[in-house]
């Protein structure tokens, strides 16, 4: 039975999934827009939105928690200086997922996730 197991496994083991989420979050923070598969974008959305919500309050505890989640110092500083300030009055919904055409090679559903 799959009770309370709502996250997608994406064909990866746990460490691979966490590494994937970290790198995708860093790429989204750095570029503010990435193209990936639809399933990965839907998994990234709650992960990055919790991080952005935490970055709206700039204190040492929030910085340490965000740094442990994404693990890159330049991304953390951009998150707290630029992105957290930008969404200070917004209560949620920091990302937008736009569906794109299917990928040519294997026909998988593609999507673009961007910061609003």
Tell me which residue of 110, 94, 100, 111 sits closest to 29, measured CA to CA: 94
pLDDT (0 to 100) of residue 48: 97
pLDDT, one tens digit per residue, over 69-93 is 999 999 999 999 999 999 999 999 9
pLDDT at 114 over 90: yes
Sheet hosting strand 110-115, strand order edge to edge: 33-37, 110-115, 95-99
pTM for the structure as a whole? 0.91
**pLDDT tens, residue by residue, 13-55:** 999 999 999 999 999 999 999 999 999 999 999 999 999 999 9
């Amino acid at each position: 039975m799959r009770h309370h197991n709502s996250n997608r496994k994406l064909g990866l083991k746990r460490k691979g999934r966490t590494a994937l989420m970290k790198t995708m979050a860093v790429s989204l923070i750095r570029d503010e827009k990435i193209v990936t598969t639809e399933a990965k974008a839907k998994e990234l959305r709650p992960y990055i939105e919790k991080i952005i919500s935490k970055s709206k309050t700039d204190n040492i505890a929030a910085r340490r928690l965000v740094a442990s989640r994404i693990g890159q110092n330049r991304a953390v500083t951009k998150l707290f200086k630029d992105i957290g300030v930008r969404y200070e009055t917004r209560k949620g919904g920091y990302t937008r997922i736009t569906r794109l055409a299917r990928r040519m090679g294997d026909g998988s559903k593609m999507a673009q996730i961007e910061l609003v």
